Amino acid sequence: MSSILRQHAEQLYAQELEELIQQDNDRRPLNWQLSPASVVTYLIGGKLKNGFVVTPKYIGNRRLMEIAVATLTTDRALLLYGLPGTAKSWVSEHLSAAISGDSTLIVQGTAGTSEESIRYGWNYARLLAEGPSENALVETPVIRAMKDGKIARIEELTRIGADVQDALITILSEKSLPIPELNTEIQAVKGFNIIATANNRDKGVNELSSALKRRFNTVILPVPDSMEEEIDIVRRRVESFEKVMELPAELPALEEIRRIVTIFRELRSGVTVDGKTKIKMPSGTLSTAEVISVVNNGLAMAAYFGDGQLKAADIAAGIIGAIVKDPVQDKIVWQEYLETVVRTREDWKDIYRACRDMF
């Protein structure tokens, strides 16, 4: 077992990637380690000709992954767009791992991200000593991706200021990056492209310019369509977490995960699963990622402060913490849901008591 807290996708799934590479006889774009069809198989999962089973990394519409992969074979960049917790970063990482064998060429977008983080910077000690030179140039992940023909990732694109965003326009349209200080440019090698992610809850923070939008093909990642799909996602991610963290706890029963997912889906949609009762919706997104976090936190509680079996008392605090973001309005919504929905379900008495005792 590795001592690394979180391995990169290409490390964690190295065996699957190696099997896919060996079995892949389809045509590959230049500098891709897998063909587009094999990249989709890596993402969606499946059984290879030799019987080897590839685990799914994305559980959802296969066509969305095919569109995303096809986009990266063209001269257009890919924008993964959607609600928080819809696996945008997860898909971005696995696409980069499958295509380039390297998911680490990443720029994290924040309000403080500067143009130098995307284009290039300078080693000022060398700049003062030598003047502008290649040795004084500090390469960004985008430059390294351009030189090596790999995928660069830009997380939370709409968190970056509009003027900084526009530094991408020349890179995406001309496939080159001018360096006027050296009277030269960096030209992208075939295989280079950019995957960006954006959160639609950040809409209006820093809108993409129309010029930049035209250079992206947008794929919207939805919340899981069905209850069973979301349960499967949570189950797989929790199993992975438990294995990496080596928690002295039993994996939760499927029905326990189902109850948590049900709570989140009902509050997210504003109606109970049977469609009979309308309920108020809290201010948070209540994404699948938050469901996973609640279960993982509950497992930790059970492991170190319980008997190793996930119980209602272990997950109550996590559920409330995820739902009650506004201490006034969300608290009212949660208490109403607790009394009108949770309390009335015969096999949910333990969750009702555990959550009620938290107030």
For each of the chain's 359 residues, which pLDDT tens digit applies? 568 888 999 999 999 999 999 999 999 999 999 999 999 999 999 999 999 999 999 999 999 999 999 999 999 999 999 888 889 999 999 999 999 999 999 999 998 899 999 999 999 999 999 889 999 999 999 999 999 999 999 999 999 988 899 899 999 999 999 999 999 999 999 999 999 999 876 554 667 888 899 999 999 999 888 999 999 999 999 998 888 888 888 989 999 999 999 999 999 999 999 999 999 999 888 889 999 999 999 999 999 999 999 999 999 999 999 999 998 999 999 999 999 999 999 999 999 999 998 86
Q: What does CATH list as the number for 63-220?
A: 3.40.50.300
Contacts of 188 (CB under 8 A, 6+ apart): 146, 149, 171, 175, 176
CA count, 13 A, side-chain hemisphere, 15: 4
Angle formed at CA 243 by CA 239 and CA 244, multiple of 5 degrees: 120
Closest listed residue to residue 199, CA positions, set 283, 285, 84? 84
Tokens of 29: 């774009």
Which tokens sit at 279?
Answer: 């309920």
Angstrom distance (rounded) from CA 247 to CA 269: 33
Are 79 and 157 spatial neighbours (Cβ–Cβ below 8 Å)? yes
The answer to whether the pTM exceeds 0.85 is yes
Distance CA 214, CA 169 (A): 10
